[in-house]
Amino acid sequence: MSGLLSEISGYLSDRANWIGEAGLINRALDHLWISLAATLLAAVLILPLALYLAHHRRAEFLATSLVNMGRAIPAFGIIGLALPISIALGWGLGFWPTFVALVALAMPPIFTNTYTGVLRVRSDVVEAARGMGLKGGQVLTQIEIPLAMPLIWTGIRVSAVQVAATATLGAVVGWGGLGRYLIDGFAQGDDAQIVVGALAVALLALLIDGAFAMGERFLPGEQKADRFSSVTA
């Protein structure tokens, strides 16, 4: 154990392992960028659909079934499916199959939380808003979305952390990021490199989770519901 700790200390104390294209800092930034970009694109693609279906109370069974099917496919399987598509489109290995797979992986939690969040908005609040003259789109944007935002935000938060942890698999198809430490470490029998890579991924996921937790403080609370529910009292 002491030997491994000594190897890890020696690895981290070597400046060459921190800088340059293959350095820890650059790989961590690449890992962070692809994780946040994939989560953002997933949110942009899936939020409108989830909001529309939940607002109109439509296709609940179909939506739930599709999301559960998406969750049942392992992350490595999604990358395996994205790889031939990327090659067929001429995108090659590395970034694109990894990115496509991460976007697909990020969608289910965002969809589920958004759909559930809107459905959980109290019916008396919605009716009070309609009674005050708000139309369908206004009810969605001014009432349902703000009240569902904590749950929506949690879905995005879960997706971001999950994507950051899963992005390590991109190294299998030739992408960089922190997953390279695991792949290269196993290939070279370098335990220190494996541990450093695993710790770096865990730390990055914790930082992302912490950032989303801080952002949650600025989300609208129940005061919006109280404003409209008081009308029905």
Measure the CA dihedral 161/155/73/199, to 10°: 10
**For the chain, what is the domain count?**
1
> In this predicted model, what pLDDT tens digit does every residue of 30-50 receive, in sequence order?
999 999 999 999 999 999 999
Helices then strands, each counted (H, E), the chain: 11, 0
Residues of the domain holding 162:
2-232
Would the pLDDT of 229 be above 70? Answer: no
Closest CA to 164 of 210, 201, 198: 201
Reading the block at residue 58, the tokens are 């439509």
Q: Which pTM was predicted?
A: 0.84
The helix/strand/coil state of 58 is: coil
**pLDDT tens for each residue of 93-119:** 888 889 988 998 999 899 989 998 888
- The CA angle 9-13-15, to the nearest 5 degrees, is 150
* pLDDT tens string 218-227: 877 554 544 5
Q: CATH no. for residue 179?
A: 1.10.3720.10
pLDDT tier, 27 (very low <50, low <70, confident <90, very high otherwise): very high
